């Protein structure tokens, strides 16, 4: 059970993790403590802590003592501290402390566990009791908020305010960030080599991919595979028009990532007009059809030019183009159908 014990021949402090480290909300702080000499961590036992907490007292204590014996056989050290992070861990911690009375208890509190939404009234009462027992026996109670510290003071106990850390959460530099959006089908027509090159050359890029992607059309494309794993390409799937419009509002610019080939060359993709209705330009490879709407489109001859065009739009989401928006809103069905209406009237059908 003590899975996280790198290079610790003589463990002195044990962190009882309520979840495996990868899914533990305080994982960054746990990893930091594991750098200390003599600190190890143990995964949850085979019978989950929550299940043990629901058992009748005698059965719960017997199960906790068995788990404690197995843990101590694996540790074989002069244990000086046992840290828990939830009151349901108190029965196991108490058993460990009874077997190693020289050790002290640390109790970490990041929430009001006894108020949990998914706990029944009976379970809330049990959690409140386990919390009182753990907090009363704790040599070091550490909490994440001033309110939790205040609650401990009101109970006549002291708690150390430690806050939270998010060391492992990515923090791309927001300065110079470019947010782009691609609206529509993601499959055969998409130039995955272009998107891969742009993603790799622009760490400051966030590309919102709004639309269905089609693995069956691209499964053998290595560039598609790289795009699927690129952290700055955010795959949002199909969204309603109302949602898509709001996502475009989050972006500096729209893109048209089509391959340069005959099927695409004559097309005039709807997304250009949709971006423009929200005051956003479109960046496109050099396709003949898109020149129909030169007012709204910037074309790029190669990957470097595409990157340069994207970077030129950084921050444009804060200054949408009102003239472009006005032009786009004027492209109504009635206006673009004017030649057809003219012919209808000539036929006496207007």
* pLDDT tens string 143-159: 999 999 999 999 999 99
pLDDT of residue 296: 98
The Cα 337–Cα 350 span in angstroms is 12
pLDDT of residue 7: 53
Q: What's the total number of domains in the chain?
A: 2
The pair of three-digit structure tokens given for residue 299, joined into one six-digit string: 């074309």
Whether residue 76 has pLDDT greater than 80: no
Among 169-178, 232-241, 293-302, where is mean pLDDT lowest? Answer: 169-178
Whether residue 6 has pLDDT greater than 70: no
Query: What strands, in cross-sheet order, belong to the sheet with 138-143?
Result: 39-42, 13-16, 81-84, 104-109, 138-143, 160-161
Domain end: 136, 161, 186, which one?
161
Q: Both 281 and 237 in a single domain? A: yes
The Cα 45–Cα 22 span in angstroms is 16
pLDDT of residue 112: 93
92-96: average pLDDT: 97
Phi and psi at residue 93, to the nearest 5°:
-60, -40
The three-state secondary structure class of 54 is coil
Q: Both 126 and 184 in a single domain? A: no
Q: Where are the alpha helices (DSSP H) in the chain?
A: 27-33, 49-53, 57-75, 90-99, 121-137, 146-154, 192-201, 215-218, 222-229, 241-249, 262-265, 270-277, 303-312, 322-329, 333-336, 338-346
Q: Both 315 and 211 in a single domain? A: yes
Q: Both 183 and 111 in a single domain? A: no
The Cα 265–Cα 288 span in angstroms is 5
The Cα 341–Cα 44 span in angstroms is 73
The three-state secondary structure class of 12 is coil
The pair of three-digit structure tokens given for residue 19, joined into one six-digit string: 């979840």
Q: Both 146 and 230 in a single domain? A: no
Average pLDDT, the chain: 94
- Contact in structure between 198 and 310 (CB atoms under 8 Å): yes
pLDDT of residue 69: 93
Burial (CB count <10 Å: 0-12, 13-18, 19+), residue 4: middle
23-52: average pLDDT: 93
The Cα 85–Cα 105 span in angstroms is 11
Whether residue 3 has pLDDT greater than 70: no
Q: Both 157 and 201 in a single domain? A: no
Whether residue 83 is contained in a domain is answered as: yes
**Of all residues in the chain, what percent carry a pLDDT higher than 70?**
97
CATH number at residue 96: 3.40.50.2000
Torsion of CA 323, 327, 328, 331, to 10 degrees: 170
The Cα 309–Cα 299 span in angstroms is 8
The three-state secondary structure class of 40 is strand
Among 75, 138, 71, which Cα is nearest to 104's?
138
Whether residue 141 is contained in a domain is answered as: yes
DSSP letter, residue 236: E
Q: Both 157 and 249 in a single domain? A: no
C-alpha torsion sign, points 41, 45, 51, 54: negative
Cα Rg for the chain, rounded, in angstroms?
30
Structural domain of residue 45, as residue ranges? 13-161
Whether residue 101 has pLDDT greater than 80: yes
Q: Both 38 and 74 in a single domain? A: yes
Domain end: 96, 131, 161, which one?
161
Whether residue 283 is contained in a domain is answered as: yes
The pair of three-digit structure tokens given for residue 348, joined into one six-digit string: 């006496």
**Of all residues in the chain, what percent carry a pLDDT higher than 90?**
89
Q: Both 195 and 254 in a single domain? A: yes
76-88: average pLDDT: 93
C-alpha torsion sign, points 285, 289, 291, 292: negative
30-50: average pLDDT: 93
Whether residue 105 is contained in a domain is answered as: yes
Question: 75 falls in which pLDDT band (50, 70, 90)?
Answer: confident
- Contact in structure between 154 and 132 (CB atoms under 8 Å): no
Q: Both 187 and 278 in a single domain? A: yes
Residue 51: count other Cβ atoms within 10 Å of its Cβ.
12
Residue 317: count other Cβ atoms within 10 Å of its Cβ.
19
pLDDT of residue 5: 55
Q: Both 145 and 206 in a single domain? A: no
Distances (CA, A) of 158 to 113, 115, 138, 155: 18, 21, 10, 9
Whether residue 2 has pLDDT greater than 70: no
Whether residue 168 is contained in a domain is answered as: no
pLDDT of residue 9: 64
Question: 74 falls in which pLDDT band (50, 70, 90)?
Answer: confident
Whether residue 349 is contained in a domain is answered as: no
Whether residue 240 is contained in a domain is answered as: yes
């Amino acid at each position: 059970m003590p899975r996280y014990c790198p290079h610790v021949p003589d463990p002195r402090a044990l962190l009882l993790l309520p979840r495996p480290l990868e899914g533990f909300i305080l994982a960054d702080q746990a990893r930091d403590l594991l750098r200390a000499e003599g600190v190890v961590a143990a995964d949850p036992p085979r019978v989950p802590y929550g299940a043990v907490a629901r058992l009748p007292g005698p059965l719960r204590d017997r199960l906790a003592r068995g788990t404690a014996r197995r843990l101590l056989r694996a540790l074989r050290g002069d244990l000086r501290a046992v840290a828990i992070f939830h009151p349901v861990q108190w029965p196991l911690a108490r058993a460990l402390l009874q077997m190693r009375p020289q050790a002290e208890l640390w109790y970490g509190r990041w929430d009001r566990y006894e108020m949990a939404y998914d706990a029944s009234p009976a379970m809330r009462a049990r959690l409140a009791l386990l919390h009182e027992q753990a907090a009363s026996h704790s040599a070091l109670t550490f909490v994440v908020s001033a309110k939790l510290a205040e609650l401990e003071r009101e109970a006549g106990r002291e708690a150390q305010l430690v806050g939270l850390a998010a060391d492992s959460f990515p923090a791309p530099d927001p300065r110079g960030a470019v947010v782009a959006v691609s609206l529509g089908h993601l499959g055969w027509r998409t130039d995955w080599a272009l998107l891969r090159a742009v993603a790799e050359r622009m760490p400051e890029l966030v590309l919102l991919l709004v639309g269905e992607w089609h693995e069956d059309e691209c499964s053998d494309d290595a560039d598609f595979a790289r795009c699927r794993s690129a952290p700055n390409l955010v795959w949002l799937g199909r969204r309603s028009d109302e949602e898509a419009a709001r996502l475009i509002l989050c972006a500096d610019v729209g893109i048209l990532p089509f391959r340069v080939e005959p099927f695409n060359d004559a097309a005039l993709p709807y997304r250009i007009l949709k971006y423009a209705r929200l005051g956003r330009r479109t960046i496109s490879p050099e396709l003949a059809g898109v020149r129909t709407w030169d007012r709204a489109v910037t074309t790029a001859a190669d990957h470097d030019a595409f990157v340069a065009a994207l970077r030129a739009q950084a921050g444009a989401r804060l200054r949408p183009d009102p003239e472009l928006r006005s032009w786009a809103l004027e492209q109504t069905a009635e206006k673009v159908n004017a030649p057809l209406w003219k012919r209808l009237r000539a036929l006496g059908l207007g």
